[in-house]
Structure formats: structure tokens, C-alpha cells
Amino acid sequence: MDDSTPLTVDPELADQFAAMGVAVAVADAPVSEEVVEVMPANWNSLCVWLACQNQWRTVVRGTAIVLLGLDMNAVDVVMRRLKAADEVIEDLLVMETAALNVLHGAN
């Protein structure tokens, strides 16, 4: 499987997560592919965002892992490695805020 293939959770995998105390939704049907168009002006920001997907600061509260925000030291390294323009950080901050609002249930 490559990064472009969505992960679906079958009952067996859901049971494995449940054994670790994590509830996940089981896919009823295969995930359909949806095409999302990205404006050329936003392409670099999206590439950096995706490259930073595992650079979140977290804290454990009870049995939950709470995302606090992106680790900006790691984001800086990713941006330098990808030779991203300084303006990309502004887009990342907007995406980070939107993601945190979704993840924490704020609107």
C-alpha cells in the first residue's frame, strides 16, 4: 500500500485497537476516491503540511492523546529540507488552527 491509498479499518483491526483502549470506526464499505483540486498557489503549502503530518506535539490525558499543535522546531526543519518559502508558515498556521478546531470539536 502506498500513501495515496486510504486506510480502512476492518473488524479485526478495530479489535486490536480496542485491546489498546482506542475506539475506531469500522468501514462499512470501501472508501471511494475523491478528487480534490489544489490551486497551484497552495501546492507548496499542502506539500509541507503533508510532510509535517507526524510532527504534532501531544499530551496524554487519561486514555486520550490530545494534539496541542505542530512542533514548530520540526516544521522549520521540514520547511528547510523542502526549500519552502517563508510565506508557507502562514498557511501552515491557518491549517493547524483549522485542524485543531476539527479535532477538538470547535467550530
Q: How long a stretch of residues is the chain?
A: 107
Q: Which residue has the higher pLDDT, 59 or 11?
A: 59
pLDDT in tens, 46-105: 999 999 999 999 999 888 888 899 999 999 999 999 999 999 999 999 999 999 999 888
Reduced to 3 states (helix: H, G, I; strand: E, B; else coil), residue 89 is helix
Largest Cα–Cα separation, the chain: 44
Residue 11 has pLDDT above 70, yes or no: yes
Under a CB-based contact definition with an 8 Å cutoff, are residues 50 and 34 in contact?
Answer: no
pTM strictly above 0.85: no
Q: What does the pLDDT read at residue 17? A: 80
